[in-house]
A and B are shown apart, each in its own frame.
Chain A
Amino acid sequence: MYREQGGYAQLERAFKELTPKDVADICMGSNLRGRGGAGFPTGRKWSFLPNNGHPRYLVCNCDEAEPGTFKDHMLLEQTPHAIIEGILIGAYAVGCHHAFIYIRGEFKAGFAIFRAAVEAARAAGYVGKNLFGTGFDLELTVHRGAGAYICGEETGLLNSLEGKRGEPRLKPPFPAVKGLYGEPTVVNNVETLAYLPHILRNGAEWFAKVGPERSPGYKVVSISGHVKNPGNYEVPLGTTIRQLIWDCAGGLRDGRTLLGVQPGGGSSACLFEEHLDLPYDFESISKAGSMLGSGAMVVFDDTTNFVKAAHALIRFYAHESCGQCTPCREGGNWLEKTLVRILEGRGLHSDVDMLVSASHQLTGLNLCPLGDSIEPFLASVVKRFEAQFRAYIREPKAAPVAV
C-alpha cells in the first residue's frame, strides 16, 4: 500500500543513485529543522559526526511525552512505513549500519504496529544485509521504553537504550561525538525523519521555499484544549496562530473568548490574544518570549482555571524530574507543594510572588532542559492572571499575632 503511493522509491533512489553526501547535502539545503523540540538544523547536526572510523548510530526519538504533543503517536500508528523510510534514508546519509527507534512504553499498540511494519520492510529487502545490491548493511532495532518523560531527552534516551536509568548525561560531549555505546550518534525526532522521503522526492528547494527563510517547511501541529476540532494539522511554518486555531481547529467553542495559547508543549510560556497574529515559526515564537518546541498548541478559553492548569504542569515536572540536579528535583516539588497549598486555601499572598521568584531561581542551574522548563508557563500565567491566583488566598480570621 505504502509502496503503491511511491513509498520506498526515494530510499531505493538514494541507495542506487545518490551518495550519502548527496543525501546529507539535500537535507542541509532544505534547512530542515528538528521537530523534536530544540529546532536544531538537521543537516548541521549530521555534519558534527567526526570522521574517526568508529561505528555510527542513528536513533529515532519516538518517546513523545511532552504535554500537549500527540503527533508522533499518530505517525507511529498510521504511517509506520514513512518513519521507517525516513530512518533508513537518514542512516544511509550518516553512514550508520545499525539504527534504532525508541518508542514510548505507553504506545503498546504502536510498538506492535511498528514492529510488524519493520518485518514487512525486511521481507521486502529494505532492511538487512547488502541492500539494493550496494553492499550496504543496515539493521533497524525497535526498542520500547517503560514510562519516563526524561527518556525523551536525547542523552537520557541513550542511557535508557543502553539498559540504564534514563538520567541525562552532562554535555559536552554531545551524542554526535560520544553517544550510544560511546560512539558517534545522531538522535532525531520521528517527524524530522519522516520528512526526509518527501524532501528527497521534491528536492531541497521545494522545502526551503515554504514559509519563512530561517524556519522553512511544513510542520505537524497538535492542537488541543478548548477548540471545536482538536487534532493534528500539517501546515507550512509561518501560518499565524489565529489561522491555526480558527481555520484548522474550528475555533473556540460557541460563546467563549480566548484567554491564552500555549504554543509549543508544556515547556513553553503562554501567549495571549495580542499574539494571535504571530506567524507560527521558530523565530517569531521565540521573539515573543515563548518557543515553538514540539509544535503542541493548547488553547485556553475563559473557563480556564489557570491555577489548576499551572498545578497540572508543575506536578508533571516534579514527577518526571530524574532527580540528578538539586534545583530541578527540589524546586519542582517545592513549587508543586506551594500550588497545592494555594489550591487548598492555605496559601499566602506572598506565595503567589514566590511562585514567580522561586521558579526563576531554579532556572539555568540544571543538567538538562527539563529543569529549565518549569518556569516559563508558570511565570507567564501568574503574571497575566494574578487575580485568579490571589482569589484562592483566604484572609486569616484573627489579627496576626506577634512573634
Chain B
Amino acid sequence: MAHGPAATALAAADWDPYIAREGNFFDALFRRLRPECDALIAQYEESRSALLPMAHLFQEHEGYLSQNAIVAIAFLLGLTPAVVESTVSFYTLFFRKPVGKYMLSVCRNLSCIINGAEEIMTYFRDSLGIGHLETTADGVFSYEEAECLAACDQAPCMQVNLEFVYKLTKPDIDAMLAAMRAGTYAVAPLVQTAPPERTWKVAQDTGRKSAGGRGVTDPNNAGGIGDKSGVIMLDRLMADPAFAARSRERVLHEKNLGPTNGDAGH
C-alpha cells in the first residue's frame, strides 16, 4: 500500500524541538499537569473516578497516552500501571500509540450507511491511501470508521478531532483534506510529540475486546470462569437438527467455490 517502511516517516530529529522544549517528562509535563490532576481527583468521593478525566488530560498534552502518562496516572491514583492500562484499553478514544494530526472518524452506522456513507468511506480510503485504523506515512492523517455519532439527521457525517462535520460530499472532502495538508483547516490539529506508526491500535483485531474471563475483576462480574451461558448456547445449537446439515453443506460449498482470496471474516 501507500505506506512505506519507517524510513518515510518523520525523522527522529523532527521531534527534537519538543524534547528540547519539554525536557524530561516527569520534570516538565507531569509537574505542569499535577495541579490539574489533583483538582480532578478532588471532584470525586473515590480517587479512581478521576482515571478517565486524567487520561483525557494527558492525551490532550501528549497527543496519545504514553507509557509515562500511564505510570503517572497510576502513581497519582495509587494503582498499578497494569490496572490503568487495562482500563484505558477498554475505551476507543484513548490512543496508546501516537496518531496523525487529524483523526478522521467517519460514521459507518445505520442512518449514515443508508445515506451514502459507504461511498464516502471508499472516497476517504482512496484519497488517503490508507484503511480503517491507519495513519498516513507523513503523519498528518489518521482514519477510522466510527459507530453512530448521534448526528444521524446530518448523515453522512464524521468527526475531525471530535469536532462534527455534517452532510459530507466528495468536494467537501477534497477541500477538507487540502486545507489540512496546508495547515489551514478550521479545527486545530492534535498535539504530536512522537512520530505515529502505521496504526495506533495495540492489537489490529479490534473485533474482540476481551476474551471471556479476562475482563472479570470481581465475583459479581459474571461471564468469566465457570460461566455457563456459552455452553447453553452450544447445547441449543446442537439440539437444532439443521445445524449438522449446515456444517456439512458449508464444507462442500467452500470446496466448490474453489480458492478465494483471504478469510471470510475480517
How distant is A72 from chain B, measured CB to nearest CB, in Å?
A: 7
Chain A residues with Cβ below 8 Å from B148 are 65-69, 266, 316
CA distance A319 to B248 in the complex (A): 29
Cβ of A230 under 8 Å from chain B: yes
A224 vs B109: C-alpha distance when bound (angstroms): 12
On whether the beta carbons of B222 and A350 are closer than 8 Å, the reply is no
User: Does B189 lie at the interface of the complex (its beta carbon under 8 Å from any beta carbon of A)?
Assistant: no
Which residues of A are found within 8 Å of B37, using beta-carbon distances? none
Contact between chains at A70 and B46 (CB < 8 Å): no
Q: How far is the CA of A266 from the CA of B255 in the complex (A)?
A: 36
Q: Are B248 and A403 in contact (CB under 8 A)?
A: yes
Q: Which of B209-227 contact A (CB under 8 A)?
A: 209-212, 214-217, 220-224, 227
Give bound CA distance, A344 to B262, whole Å. Answer: 11
Q: From the candidates B150, B210, B242, B255, name the one contacting A353 in the complex (CB within 8 A).
A: B242
Do the beta carbons of B223 and A145 come within 8 Å of each other? no
Check A147/B153 contact, CB under 8 A, given A323-B208, A323-B209, A325-B223. Answer: no
In the complex, the answer to whether A333 meets B150 with C-beta atoms within 8 Å is no
Q: B52 to A145, Cβ gap below 8 A?
A: yes
Q: Is A141 an interface residue (CB 8 A)?
A: yes
Q: Are A106 and B264 in contact (CB under 8 A)?
A: no
**Closest A-B pairs by Cβ, 10 of them:** A326-B230, A324-B223, A163-B51, A146-B91, A396-B256, A163-B48, A224-B152, A147-B93, A147-B92, A337-B265
A346/B264 in contact, CB under 8 A: yes
Q: How far is the CA of A325 from the CA of B216 in the complex (A)?
A: 10
Give 4 new A-B contacts, CB below 8 A, not counting A312-B109, A340-B264, A366-B229: A230-B154, A305-B114, A318-B207, A331-B233
Query: Please, how many angstroms separate the alpha-carbon atoms of A359 and B248 in the complex?
Result: 20
Distance between Cα atoms of A148 and B209 in the complex (Å): 11
Q: Does A149 contact B (CB under 8 A)?
A: yes
User: Does B55 count as interface, using CB distance less than 8 angstroms?
Assistant: yes
- Give the number of chain A interface residues (Cβ < 8 Å): 95
CA distance A44 to B16 in the complex (A): 61
Are the C-beta atoms of B227 and A165 separated by less than 8 Å? no
Q: Whole-angstrom distance from the CB of B43 to the nearest CB of chain A?
A: 5
Q: Quick check: is A119 within 8 A (CB to CB) of the other chain?
A: no
**Complex interface: chain B residues within 8 A of A162 (CB):** 46, 48-49
Q: Give the Cβ gap from B210 to chain A, nearest Cβ, in Å.
A: 4
Contact, CB under 8 Å: B51 / A361? no
A232 contacts B249, C-beta separation under 8 Å: no
A residues less than 8 Å from B110 (CB atoms):
67-68, 225, 262, 266, 298, 309, 312-313, 316
Bound complex: CA of A167 vs CA of B93, how far in Å? 16
Instruction: Provide 13 A-B residue pairs closer than 8 Å at the C-beta atoms, listed in order of the A residue.
Output: A67-B147, A70-B150, A70-B153, A106-B149, A162-B48, A181-B46, A298-B152, A312-B109, A321-B209, A324-B216, A326-B233, A329-B209, A348-B249
CA distance A366 to B48 in the complex (A): 28
CB atoms of B208 and A108 under 8 A apart: no
Q: Which residues of B contact A53 (CB under 8 A)?
A: none
Cβ–Cβ < 8 Å partners of A224 in chain B? 111, 152-153, 155
Report the minimum CB–CB distance from A281 to chain B (whole Å).
22
User: What per-residue 1/0 map shows which CB atoms of A150-184 lie under 8 Å from chain B?
Assistant: 00000000001111111101100000000001000
A340 close to B266 (CB less than 8 A): yes
- Whether A169 pairs with B221 at a CB distance below 8 angstroms is yes
Minimum C-beta distance from A123 to chain B (A): 18
Residues of B close to A1: CB separation below 8 A? none
Given contacts A146-B94, A321-B209, contact A326 B150 (CB under 8 A): no
Q: Which of B108, B113, B152 has the most CB of A within 10 A?
A: B152
Residues of A near B236 (CB, < 8 A) are: 361
Identity of the chain B residue whose Cβ is nearest the Cβ of A350 in the assembled complex: B246
The distance in angstroms between the C-alpha atoms of A394 and B227, with both chains bound, is 39
**A243: which B residues are within 8 A, CB to CB?**
none
Nearest chain B CB to A114's CB is how many angstroms away?
14
| B56 CB contacts on chain A under 8 angstroms | 105, 144, 146
Contact for B212 among A104, A144, A160, A323, CB less than 8 A: A323
Which residues of B have CB within 8 Å of A146? 52, 55-56, 88, 91-94
Decide if B237 touches A149 in the complex (CB within 8 Å).
no
A12 sits at the interface (CB 8 A): no
Contact with A along B225-266 (1 / 0, CB 8 A): 001011011001100101001101111110111001000111
Contact B50 A163 (CB under 8 A): yes
Q: Is A330 engaged at the interface, CB distance under 8 Å to the other chain?
A: yes
Q: Chain B: which residue is nearest A400 at the CB level?
A: B252
A106 and B162 form a contact (CB under 8 A): yes
Q: B residues within 8 A CB of A225? A: 110-111, 114-115, 152
Asked if B233 and A362 sit within 8 Å, CB to CB, the answer is yes
Q: Give Cα distance in the complex from A109 to B159, angstroms.
A: 11
